[in-house]
């Protein structure tokens, strides 16, 4: 399961970036169908990759809790707090 999750997040991130780079390289502006379809598709794939990365992080945390690895649990929780803080308090 973890292997498929890791593979899925990489595929989503790379394909989303490729779609966005294709839209940028085409020079399409707003009324163009390439922009109107490509930009949301690329951003959606990158957002899906971020959700899969969060699920992967949760999977690692669950395994660390089951194996009672205190240091790894602490590192994962501090990393989650820093990431959430950077997202919500980015000013």
In this predicted structure, what is the pLDDT of residue 78?
A: 92
* 8 Å CB contact between 60 and 79: no
In this predicted structure, what is the pLDDT of residue 82?
A: 92
Torsion of CA 59, 61, 65, 70, to 10 degrees: 150
DSSP 8-state code for residue 89: T
> Please, what is the average pLDDT of the chain?
90
CA distance 17 to 42: 6
**What is the residue extent of each domain of the chain?**
2-88
pLDDT, tens only, 68-86 = 888 988 998 898 899 889 9
In this predicted structure, what is the pLDDT of residue 49?
A: 94
Report the greatest alpha carbon distance in the chain: 55
Confidence of residue 91 (pLDDT cuts 50, 70, 90): low
């Amino acid at each position: 399961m973890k292997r498929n999750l890791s593979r899925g997040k990489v595929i989503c991130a790379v394909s989303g970036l490729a779609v966005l780079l294709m839209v940028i390289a085409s020079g399409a502006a707003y009324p163009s169908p390439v922009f109107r379809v490509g930009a949301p598709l690329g951003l959606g794939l990158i957002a899906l990759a971020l959700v899969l990365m969060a699920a992967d992080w949760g999977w690692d945390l669950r395994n660390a809790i089951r194996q009672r690895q205190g240091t790894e649990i602490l590192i994962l929780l501090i990393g989650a707090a820093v990431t959430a803080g950077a997202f919500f308090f980015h000013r």
